[in-house]
């Protein structure tokens, strides 16, 4: 079955630690996205990538980093510079065509110890 796989489902970060969230898709989509969702709020764009080896900052990129070495993979690293990392993180992908839709992974809940 085609889809987007995020792991882990739950992640705990110690102060000063970098953690990496995994996102893999087998939909052959060109574009991939990372969003952050805080309780009771909408989704905010962290980073996006329209093509392999290229990515752009979204609205709240500070304290995060990404890579896009393969079409299928778009990992997100939450660095120690992100002072308020507790949130629900969602990875998404789309075809890159007009009138495209977004497809989401099941999300990772990150909490600070």
Partner 1 sequence: RKEVEQDPGPFNVPEGATVAFNCTYSNSASQSFFWYRQDCRKEPKLLMSVYSSGNEDGRFTAQLNRASQYISLLIRDSKLSDSATYLCVVRAPYGQNFVFGPGTRLSVLP
Residues that bind partner 1 in the complex, under the rule CB under 8 A: 33, 35, 40-43, 45, 48, 50, 58, 88, 90, 98-107, 109
DSSP state of 78: E
At residue 102, φ and ψ (nearest 5 deg) are: -95, 135
Smallest distance from the beta carbon of 11 to partner 1, in angstroms? 14
CB nearer to partner 1: pick between 28 and 106 = 106
CB nearer to partner 1: pick between 82 and 108 = 108
CB nearer to partner 1: pick between 75 and 107 = 107
> Which are the contacts of 41, defined by CB distance < 8 A and separation ≥ 6?
none
CB nearer to partner 1: pick between 80 and 88 = 88
Task: Give CA–CA dist 51/54, Å, rounded.
Answer: 6
* Burial state string for 80-100 with b = 16 or more CB within 10 A and e = fewer than 16: eebeebebebbbbbbeeeeee
Smallest distance from the beta carbon of 90 to partner 1, in angstroms? 6
Smallest distance from the beta carbon of 23 to partner 1, in angstroms? 12
What does the radius of gyration of the chain's CA atoms come to, in whole angstroms?
13
Smallest distance from the beta carbon of 80 to partner 1, in angstroms? 26
């Amino acid at each position: 079955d085609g889809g987007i796989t995020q792991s882990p489902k739950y992640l705990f970060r110690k102060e000063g630690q970098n953690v990496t969230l995994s996102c893999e898709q087998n939909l052959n989509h060109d574009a991939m996205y990372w969003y952050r969702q805080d309780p009771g709020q909408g989704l905010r764009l962290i980073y996006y990538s329209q093509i392999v080896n290229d990515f752009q900052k979204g609205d709240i990129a500070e304290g995060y980093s990404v890579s896009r070495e393969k079409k299928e993979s778009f990992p997100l690293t939450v660095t120690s510079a992100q002072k308020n990392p507790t949130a629900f993180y969602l990875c998404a992908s789309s075809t890159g065509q007009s009138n495209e839709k977004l497809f989401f992974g099941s999300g990772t809940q990150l909490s600070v110890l």
